[in-house]
Amino acid sequence: MSARISLSGLLCVSLLLLVPEVVLAKASYQAAFKSQVEQSAAGFALAAAEEPDYTCTKDKPCSIGCCGPLDDTGKGVCGLGPTFCGTGCTSTCNYKSECDPGWGIQWSNSSTCPLNVCCSDYGFCGTTADFCAGKVTSSPECPASGNSSNARTIGYYEGWNWQRPCGTMTPGQIPLGYYTHINYAFSLIDPTTYRLTPMDDKTGTLYKSVSALKEMQPGLEVWIAVGGWAMNDPGPFRTVFSDLAASEAAQDQFFESLITFIANNGFDGVDLDWEYPVADDRGGVEADFDNFVNFLSRLRARLNNLGKPVGISLTLPASYWYLRGFDIIKLEPYLDWYNIMTYDIHGIWDSTVDSLGPYARAHTNLTEIDESLKLLWRNNINPGRVNLGLGFYGRSFTMKDPNCMAAGCEFSGAGNGGECTGAAGVLSAAEISNIITAGATVTFDSAAAVQIVTWDNDQWVSWDDTKTLAMKVEYANQRCIGGLMIWAIDLDDGTLIKSLAAAGRPVQYYNENPPLVVPCFGSAWPDDVSSDNTSSSSI
């Protein structure tokens, strides 16, 4: 999670759209085409490697598009479709558009766009009004007084939180009664055996300590979360999800390991957090799109044969950029629900995106969350099988100018790491609360439904407090969403989760005097979690 990149902002900038078939001044067309490219998947990938140029000559081809007819000075303009790639094309004449706006499939890679988003007149895929030319995506609507999201409150527990110098949370310190499900994060997948393997032996000792909480809270379910952002970082685990999805023999090994893990540790389901299929910058390949569906169908069949319910959920990004790698329509029948990461919409990575730039924005902006969820509604995903992601942490920046500290002002880098969490650009809810208590300035952004905190002349963080969390819960109910998903239980000192109950979410029954001895409770970590024991073993 700590580096989950969400790029929904790529599709949120208004564009000047012009019709390619109309004879246009070169400069006007070039500017419009450039603006379209910068919002496209191809343009973003290119911008990461070079600064694209939208003019061409006989010896200088286009980075994106075809080089159209040259003028008297020997210069041409890059574009797509028959006007640029047909008669008179100078170079890269086989370049095809993302989608077909009506000029014929022979000029396009696909007749439609991924996730049913709109195809612009320039052959690029997007979601804004400029791309969609007046087409409106309808969203689910339920009464404002509804409580659909009360059905589930899923909290992720960071099994590695013991590594922090302070602000840790043992399994026995997890607040009971507030979560219906706990997702233990994370287990990895061995790239050789395809069996589950703990992140390290310390986190592996805590599985039964977490599942034992079910003795205190009847009805609580504990699931194992597999994967996470870091598993697809460069290294031995980078392609393991792709390799697993491509091989039924590897899947059989994984299924056996998962079933054994669930039986031995008293778990109730598995959450798959693949970040991300198809995305080549995350170790993905094109075949992932179809392979993942086959993998999920086989997993569902195996678990159905166990004679007891075992859940499957899938974690989804909130951005078109990465979500387009999931066949969300075909995956849905095999899942209990989707957990959508409607946080990390913005962060330090914005500085590398031409259409965004190094400007401070809230990472849980409700307006952008609403646009992100329309990617699901475009595909008729059942909102009752969606859990809205809430962050019990903030994304922070170091601001460039102490006289410009509002949202939209320029940042120079990530915010200072917290005393306990230690990572630049991230602060836990508990750390932010302490900063506010020490005298920081708090500004409520009602449109974004976030709080912005500034201090020390250059530090800036956006986060959700009790007020803005209540606003997001109300929004979830208005959209008929079936539950909430929280990252992460251990980043909160109990204040935020208890505030959700105070706002009307039901508290689950729990027994303060369990009938069985529950291991590893109390303020101390278990004795067998030693600082020098860091090896991993497969399950």
DSSP characters over 449-516? TEEEEEETTTEEEEE--HHHHHHHHHHHHHTT--EEEEE-GGGS-SHHHHHHHHTTPPPPP--SS-SS
Residue 223: per-residue pLDDT: 99
**Is pLDDT of 531 > 80?**
no
Mean pLDDT of 422-446: 98
Q: What is the pLDDT of residue 341?
A: 98
Would you kindly state where each structural domain of the chain is located, as residue ranges?
Answer: 8-132, 148-502
Residue 35: per-residue pLDDT: 66
| Cβ atoms within 10 Å of 334's Cβ, excluding its own | 18
The pTM of this model reads 0.87
Q: Tokens in use for 391?
A: 């962050």
42-56, 183-197, 311-325, 413-427, range with the lowest pLDDT = 42-56
pLDDT tier for residue 128 given thresholds of 50, 70 and 90: confident
Contacts of 44 (CB under 8 A, 6+ apart): 7, 10, 38, 321, 353
In the structure, what pLDDT confidence band is assigned to residue 527 with cuts at 50, 70 and 90? very low
CA contacts within 13 A on the Cβ side of 6: 28
**22 pLDDT more than 60:** no
Q: Contact at 8 Å (CB) between 421 and 427?
A: yes
What is the average per-residue pLDDT within 54-61?
Answer: 90
| pLDDT score at 428 | 98
Distance CA(336)–CA(206), nearest Å, equals 25
Q: So what's the pLDDT on residue 203? A: 86
Q: What is the pLDDT of residue 246?
A: 99
- Between 454 and 18, the higher pLDDT residue: 454
**Angle in degrees, CA 81, 82, 85, rounded to 5:** 80
Task: Give the mean model confidence (pLDDT) for residues 176-186.
Answer: 97
What pLDDT, on a 0 to 100 scale, did the predictor assign at position 32?
A: 65
Q: List the single range of 13-17, 116-120, 150-154, 416-420 with lowest mean pLDDT.
A: 13-17
Q: In this model, does residue 26 exceed pLDDT 90?
A: no
Confidence of residue 353 (pLDDT cuts 50, 70, 90): confident
Multiple choice CATH, 148-502, 3.20.20.80, 3.40.1390.30, 3.90.550.10, 3.40.50.720: 3.20.20.80
pLDDT at 28: 61
Confidence of residue 534 (pLDDT cuts 50, 70, 90): very low
Instruction: Provide, rounded to the nearest whole percent, the portion of the chain with pLDDT above 90.
Output: 77
Whole-angstrom Cα distance, residue 94 to residue 58?
Answer: 15
Confidence band, pLDDT 50/70/90 cuts, at residue 29: low
Judged against a pLDDT cut of 50, whether residue 354 lies above it is answered with yes
Q: Is the pLDDT of residue 427 over 60?
A: yes
Q: Output the pLDDT for position 529.
A: 36
**pLDDT interval class at 336 (50, 70, 90):** very high
**List of residues 6+ apart from 176 with CB closer than 8 A:** 213, 216, 217, 220, 508, 510
- Regarding beta strands 269-273 and 221-227, do their DSSP bridges make them parallel or antiparallel, or are they unpaired? parallel
Question: What pLDDT, in 10s, does the model give residues 236-252?
Answer: 999 999 999 999 999 99
Amino acid 525: pLDDT: 44
In sequence order, what are the residues at sequence separation of 6 or more whose Cβ sits closer than 8 angstroms to the Cβ of residue 391?
343, 344, 363, 364, 463, 464, 486, 487
CA distances from 438 to 441, 458, 536 (A): 10, 16, 41
Q: State yes or no: pLDDT of 5 exceeds 60.
A: no
Under 8 Å between Cβ of 392 and 2:
no
| pLDDT of res. 158 | 97
For tokens 């994984």, what's the residue? 254
Least confident interval from 55-59, 231-235, 434-438, 451-455: 55-59
Rounded mean pLDDT of the chain?
88
Which tokens belong to 510? Answer: 């729990």
d(CA 390, CA 191): 31
Q: pLDDT confidence of 523, banded at 50, 70, 90?
A: very low
Cβ–Cβ < 8 Å for 108, 123:
yes
